[in-house]
Amino acid sequence: MTIGQRLRRGVSFADMALGLLFVALATRALTMEASADTYWHLRTGADILRTGSVPRVDSYSFTAAGWPWRNHEWLWEPFAYGCFRVGGMALLSLGGGAFVIAGLALIFRLMKGPAWTRFALLLVGLPLSMPLWALRPHLFTLAALPLLLTLLARDRLWPIPPLFLLWANVHGGVALGGVLLGVATGLALLRWWLRRARDDRRRAIALAVVLPLAAAACLATPLGAGIFHFLSDSMVRIRAVRIGEWQPTGLADAYGVYFWIVAAAFLSLTVVRRRALRADGHAAAWGDWLLVAAALALFPLAIVAVRNAGLFALVALPAASRLLGPAARVRLPWRRAAAPGAGADKPIANLALLAGLALAAAGFVGWSYRSQAPALGWRPIDARALAAVRACDGPLYNQYDEGGYLIWFVPDKPVFVDNRQDPYPIDHIVAQLDVQWERAPYRPLFERWGIRCAFLPVASSTIAALARDGWVTRYRDERFAVLSAPAPAPSP
């Protein structure tokens, strides 16, 4: 049956509901916020395309200028700047959203069961993934991880090393891919040992070859063999500066509570439905084993870091659907069984509603781009604040979270620190955070670097401390303030 024939027949109510869910998710993905990371990546991408080389030392700050910079996400940067150069922030948002949509589509195709069951699982699990949706290289991992699982589940193994080659040059999430590939290889060997089936033997041997090839592919980056040391060193640095998304997933906020509810439900389902992995005394499908094992492997990583909780949820969705099995059905109290011949479903009306809301969503995305809606983060700093920063006389002080913006919007003004973090000594970042969090006075740090100007969010307590010492406010709005040091007293 052709697509046209299917459309003429309309869609069921369940398929319409799934379609509307994906329309809502696509709308959210295409209007995700640009973060501070977005902008320093844009600056680096412009420099890579201009010079034809990947920067190896820092040139964006005055506090770490000339220090080694291990830029492990370099391949994302010319992609991001290329999108921006051709179509502005709109095309970059479309490109970033495409990674999210592709990842969700792959996850959906890995799921099994009736439409309402999949709908319910998506509705429960995806809120944990959505906080990851921001315009930065992590979006590639949101697509690459489901792609890796799809290749493994379908025994299409030989594209995996090229995937790891690309992944290792785009985002450090390749480490999670390595974990899952290692789990899949061990699982394949176990399955071969248990079943002694020919297809299991072939898969185990192939994965035993693919795993080292994928590891070798990760060496083909500007960091070479240093990528493995970088990944471990990066985690040490992240813990030292206590970046929020890398903290353990606890019960201190609503996100953590929700994660533990979802995780407990999945673990309970795994225990209750463990026999689903064995059908009539024989092992169930390889894909079922793989997805459940992958979700269980990501669970401890999700506990260790909030950032991994969303990835765990993505993998747990198809795993849960396979544990439930094709017979599991969600009973909707408002959908009573219709009498014979009553024709409760309205396929054509369902299709018309789905098409109408999809068009409305496309219009909303277009309007958001055209009006540069504040939620997009395309204008994070007022032009007058940027002008005040450019007019600063002397070295500029800024906090960790705002440096990425300044690197792009005020390229001629070196920053004090930014959220690339890697070029800076840990002591430097900690010293800045100590001032920011009122654990240390600002004066020693300012005097060490000769700071004469400060760009700060209005919520910063440092503003009041500077004002008490005579610093002059050059600009202030509801988000940021720019202050300059008082003129030195005249010599007697």
Q: Could you tell me if 312 and 393 lie in one domain?
A: no
Residues 87 and 208 in one domain: yes
Find the mean pLDDT for residues 337-362.
Answer: 78
Same domain, 282 and 387: no
Summarised one tens digit per residue, pLDDT across range 394-451 is 899 999 999 999 999 999 999 999 988 889 988 999 999 999 999 999 999 999 999 9
Task: Answer with the residue of higher pLDDT: 394 or 105.
Answer: 105
Whether residues 293 and 404 share a domain: the answer is no
Computed on alpha carbons and rounded to an integer, the radius of gyration of the chain in Å comes to 26
H or E element, residue 39: helix 36-51
Q: 479 or 278, which is more confident?
A: 479
Domain end residue (candidates: 306, 324, 342): 324
Q: What is the pLDDT of residues 172-192, one digit of tens each?
A: 899 999 999 999 999 999 999
Please check whether residues 318 and 399 belong to one and the same domain: no
Instruction: For residue 102, give Cα distances in angstroms to 139, 141, 179, 320.
Output: 10, 11, 22, 20
Cβ partners under 8 Å of residue 395, min gap 6: 62, 414, 416, 449, 450, 451, 452, 453
Strand partners, 455: 398, 482
Amino acid present at 440:
A
Tens digits of residue pLDDT in 216-240: 999 999 888 777 777 777 777 776 6
DSSP summary character for residue 478: S
CA distance 176 to 309: 12
- 16 with 160, same domain: the answer is yes
Q: Is 472 helix (H, G, I), strand (E, B) or coil?
A: strand
What predicted TM-score, i.e. pTM, was given to this entire model?
0.91
CA dihedral 23, 24, 28, 30 (to 10 degrees): 10
Q: Please name which of 26, 314, 318, 317 lies closest in space to residue 173, comparing C-alpha atoms.
A: 314
Is 297 in the same domain as 393?
Answer: no
Residues 288-325 have pLDDT tens digits of 999 999 999 999 999 998 889 999 999 999 999 999 98
Does a structural domain hold residue 224?
yes
Domain co-membership, 302 together with 433: no
Task: Kindly give the pairing relationship between strand 453-457 and strand 282-283.
Answer: unpaired
Contact in structure between 321 and 199 (CB atoms under 8 Å): no
Structural domain total, the chain: 2
Is 205 within the bounds of a domain?
yes
For residues 155-161, give the mean pLDDT.
96
Amino acid in position 300:
P
In Å, the largest CA–CA distance within the chain is 102
Residue 3 included in any domain? no
Place of tokens 């390229």: 411
CA nearest neighbour of 335 among 121, 24, 119, 112 = 119
CA dist., res. 206 & res. 184, Å (int): 11
| Averaged pLDDT score across all residues of the chain | 90
φ/ψ bin of 394: left (φ > 0), alpha (ψ from -120 to 50), beta (otherwise): left
User: Is there a domain that residue 392 lies in?
Assistant: yes
The bridge status of strand 396-398 relative to strand 453-457 is parallel
Q: Which residues pair with 457 in a beta bridge?
A: 480
489 secondary structure, DSSP code: P
Within-domain flag for 297: yes
Whether 301 and 403 map to the same domain: the answer is no
Residue 280 reports pLDDT greater than 60: no
Residue 492's pLDDT band (boundaries 50, 70, 90)? low
**Same domain, yes or no: 275 and 136:** yes
Q: What is the DSSP letter of 471?
A: -
Q: Is residue 372 part of a domain?
A: no
Domain that holds residue 420: 383-484
157 assigned to some structural domain? yes
Q: What is the 3-state secondary structure (H, E, C) of 106-166?
A: HHHHHCCCCHHHHHHHHHHHHHHCHHHCECCCHHHHHHHHHHHHHHHHCCCCCCHHHHHHH
Task: Examine residue 376 and state whether it is found in any structural domain, yes or no.
Answer: no
CB atoms under 10 Å from CB of 57, counted, come to 12
Strand partners, 398: 455
Report how far residue 344's alpha carbon sits from residue 391's, in angstroms, rounded to the nearest whole number. 68
- The residue from 324, 352, 375 where one domain ends is 324
**Dist CA 336 CA 334 (whole Å):** 6
Say whether both 289 and 388 belong to one domain.
Answer: no
Within this chain, do residues 23 and 162 fall inside the same structural domain, yes or no? yes
